[in-house]
Structure 1
Amino acid sequence: MYSAGLALVIAANISGTAFAGTRFPGALPETVDTVQWGPGAELVGNTVKKESTDSKSEETSLSVPGDSQGPVAGDVMSSTTENRSDYYRNLDVSLLDAEHLGILGEYFKDSVIIGDSVAENFQRYNLSTGVGDVVSDNFTSLAVAGYSIKKALLPNDGSNIHPMIKGKRYRLPEAISLTGAKHVYSFFGYKDLNDTEAADNYEKLLQEIKASNPDADITVISTTYMTKAFQNEEYNNDKVRALNEAMKQKCSDNGWGFIDVQDIMSDGEGNLPEEWSIDKQIHYNYQYYIYWVNEMKRSALEKLGI
């Protein structure tokens, strides 16, 4: 069920400057065509070259949304699967020590985000508010505004919106190979909600990606809610929940990761809070991508068993 009242608790912990429309200090997103590399990175041939950057994110007084005083990494945990899952789910990632941060920094090297405009905005968070974080500093973006699962499956005939690298478009399996990504994080769903074959097509796309990138692991980030007022008969939060449930099972079947932020990013009633949304529809203000970052860290720590 939903995390009832979570949004209200979070809102109470956020300073008055952190509302819809707020712009955060830091580097503006720099892009190579539709590809967005991590801070100071560029593609030279087929290699990502890191350069220094003078851009620094300013410290803010914001409480980290969604973080409770849970266990700290390294605390003793039970060996049972259920208790291990609870341990990582409640882990306070704001209190990670230098050792764990260093391990995560190595883990997230060569990570890529694929998907639509919501995924595209994740990289904008990474290049501004997120600069200096072990997750944000290691991501390349192949996300494209207007992208969908169905469009991602189309052939590369020049009349589509596949990711562009150095002036040339590539389907996702090839584009990911060019980045040398070891970890693929995927966020799709909104534009496919009215497609009864969306989950099957999503699985097919990810299987194609895995076939072309056998050494890369794949993690699906659950589709997040839209605001209550933006719903209609064809596109609504019931369909978001149905797609997420189907993809959670498909990820389990295929050995992929699944990061569930559906109810964490909820008003407690199964909708995206309007005050979080930059357009009162599906897009959220950049600071709320901290939810993605925190869950990525928890997922990685659980996978690493530390």
Structure 2
Amino acid sequence: MFKILYKVLLLTVSVALVALLVGYTDTQKRSYDFINESDLVVENTSETRAEVETETTTETTTETTTETTTETTEETTESITDNETDLYDYSQPVPQSLAVEDSYFDDAIFVGNSRTEGFMMYAGLKKAQALTHIGLKVDTIRTSQIAKIDGKKMTIMDALKVKKFGKIYIMLGMNELGWAFPELFKEQYASVIDEIKLNHPESIIYMQSILPVSKAKANYDPIYNNDNIERFNQLVKEIALEKEVFYVNVTEGIADSEGSLPEGASFDGVHLKPDFCLEWLSYLKEHTVEVIHE
């Protein structure tokens, strides 16, 4: 009887030891799994922190860059308030300033004849817009339906009313050089500027000088020569003064020492090659104003 009780007791103790050992092992396994999960959370937290720090740094850098860019842009243009425009000397061309970025022209539109058409083709201004036509003149800009907006034909002046622009660059006069009465050119051009100012009172309006032709063309052409162009440019200056818009003497940035297009600058003595369209753009970028509306 004693032996039976002893065996039962021994079996009970053995079972208890086995159960204890199994329980310890399972507890140890679960603790190990938790430690691994904890490490994983810490690693993810570290990655998240690093991402947050990176984003914060990026945002800070972006803000700093934006502020710096804004400050730089403000320094590169000649700032003029509405009150100061009354004192601005419109008889003088826009003076040289620090060059602006291409983004300055994002809200600009260029209006002109085939020369402006070539400029827009080669200058690389991706966001600037244009209303151009071969042979465009100060009269046909309002009478010929040569623009198309949403499939509808209209004049360039009507097309210009469809949208507002921060800057309007206009160059006309080359195709009017043969007019018998230059004063008619001035009258028509001045009327165009009046209409633009009426429809775009907040826009900065730049009247560009008529670019010269090559010396070879000027020497044999009785109409399209640089003496005639200079006479018409004097009329453009007078309009800029009378209408109080900004005159940009792009001729200064393109012409050679004799006032002609440099040799090799043009395909035909009139229209600029790509490299000289970029010279044209460089001049515009270095001759800007900023009107602050109060």
Q: Measure, in 2, the Cα distance between the counterparts of 1:259 and 1:178.
A: 25
Q: What is the deviation of 1:228?
A: 2.0
| 1:261–1:291 Cα contact (<8 Å) kept | no
Q: Measure, in 1, the Cα distance between the counterparts of 2:145 and 2:265.
A: 28
Q: 1:304 to 1:282 in 2, by over 3 A?
A: same
* Alignment partner of 1:117 out of 114, 118, 121: 114
| 2:93–2:246 Cα contact (<8 Å) kept | no
Q: What is the deviation of 1:274?
A: 3.4
Q: Which consecutive unaligned segments of at least 5 residues does structure 2 have?
A: 1-72, 79-87
Cα displacement string for residues 9-66 of structure 1 (whole angstroms, at most 9, x for unaligned residues): xxxxxxxxxxxxxxxxxxxxxxxxxxxxxxxxxxxxxxxxxxxxxxxxxxxxxxxxxx
| 1:223–1:244 Cα contact (<8 Å) kept | yes
Are 1:260 and 2:254 matched, yes or no?
Answer: no
The corresponding residue for 1:238 is 227
SS at match of 2:129: strand
Structure 2 counterpart of 1:178, one-letter code = V
SS at match of 1:142: strand
Are 1:296 and 2:284 matched, yes or no?
Answer: yes
The corresponding residue for 2:175 is 191
* Alignment partner of 1:182 out of 152, 166, 186: 166
Q: Output the aligned Cα RMSD.
A: 3.0
The corresponding residue for 2:81 is none
Cα displacement string for residues 242-287 of structure 1 (whole angstroms, at most 9, x for unaligned residues): 11122112112212111101133112112112311022x2101022
TM-score by length of 1: 0.58
SS at match of 1:178: coil
Structure 1 counterpart of 2:214, one-letter code = T
| 1:172–1:209 Cα contact (<8 Å) kept | no
Q: What is the deviation of 1:140?
A: 0.4
Q: 1:287 to 1:179 in 2, by over 3 A?
A: farther
Q: Measure, in 2, the Cα distance between the counterparts of 1:291 and 1:207.
A: 30
* Alignment partner of 1:270 out of 241, 259, 266: 259
The corresponding residue for 1:202 is 189
Q: Measure, in 2, the Cα distance between the counterparts of 1:194 and 1:87.
A: 28
Q: Which consecutive unaligned segments of at least 5 residues does structure 1 have?
A: 1-71, 94-99, 131-135, 155-159
SS at match of 2:168: strand
| 1:226–1:236 Cα contact (<8 Å) kept | yes
Q: What is the deviation of 1:229?
A: 2.3
Moved over 6 A (4+): none
Q: What is the deviation of 1:92?
A: 5.4
SS at match of 1:205: helix
* Higher share in helix: 2
| 2:167–2:203 Cα contact (<8 Å) kept | yes
Q: Measure, in 1, the Cα distance between the counterparts of 2:131 and 2:149.
A: 9
Q: Which structure would you say has the larger Rg?
A: 2
| 2:110–2:130 Cα contact (<8 Å) kept | yes
The corresponding residue for 2:105 is 108
Q: 1:250 to 1:115 in 2, by over 3 A?
A: same
TM-score by length of 2: 0.61
Q: How many residues align?
A: 203
The corresponding residue for 2:62 is none
